[in-house]
Amino acid sequence: MSITSAGTEHRPSLLLVDDDATLRERLARAFRERGWDVTTAGDYDEALAAARRDSPEYAVVDLRMPGRNGLEVVRDLLTVDASTRVIVLTGYGSIATTVDAIRLGAVNYLPKPADVDDVLAAFARASGEPSVATPESFEAPSLARAEWEHINRVLADCAGNISEAARKLGIHRRSLQRKLQKYPPSR
């Protein structure tokens, strides 16, 4: 928090968008305990309505939600107010979706589960402030992880069309569907 010229305390505003009510409320409570003014939303429509009522300085948006996804929320939040700093959260991260989120204007991207310290560190990294925990060395992803990210990038390039992605990857459509049903491999 910072003090304004009038001597009053400035509470940063945050819009938290996630369809998982438990995670959303836990994260909202943690931010409120740190002095943030938090508004929550469970989907695209609630998020945009809240942003139009009172545009937030910061936003944390889940990538996968029922109906319209988090990338659409990012795009339209920044249409409402281009100065909103957005971080995308997801349990299904891939390089392709990370690139899409950043292209749309997100300042950072975090894998779930993320706590309030992770989110604050991500906002700090995006603003160029030094963070307390920066990795000293780069750890290359496993071959399985690289394959999973490549498959998801090709699928995103094919607009989600499984048959077209399978043709481009040179594998059978059913094999691709089986690979997509699996959780992403750990690093």
Average pLDDT over residues 107-118: 85
Q: Which helix (H) or strand (E) holds 108?
A: strand 108-111
pLDDT at 130 exceeding the cut of 50: no
What is the percentage of the chain residues whose pLDDT exceeds 70?
84
Cα distance between residue 84 and residue 57, in whole Å: 5
Task: Kindly list the domain boundaries of the chain, sorted by start residue.
Answer: 13-129, 143-181
The superfamily CATH assigns to domain 143-181 is Homeodomain-like (1.10.10.60)
Tens digit of each residue's pLDDT (9 = 90 or more) over 43-75? 999 999 999 999 999 999 988 888 888 889 999
CA distances from 96 to 103, 132, 135, 165, 168 (A): 11, 27, 22, 14, 16
Tens digit of each residue's pLDDT (9 = 90 or more) over 72-85? 999 999 999 999 99
Q: What is the pTM of this model?
A: 0.65
Check if the beta carbon of residue 18 is closer than 8 Å to that of residue 24.
Answer: yes
Average pLDDT over residues 115-123: 89
Average pLDDT over residues 166-178: 91
Domain 13-129 fold is: Rossmann fold (3.40.50)
- Residue 55's Cβ-side half-sphere holds a number of Cα atoms within 13 Å equal to 11
Cα distance between residue 79 and residue 92, in whole Å: 25
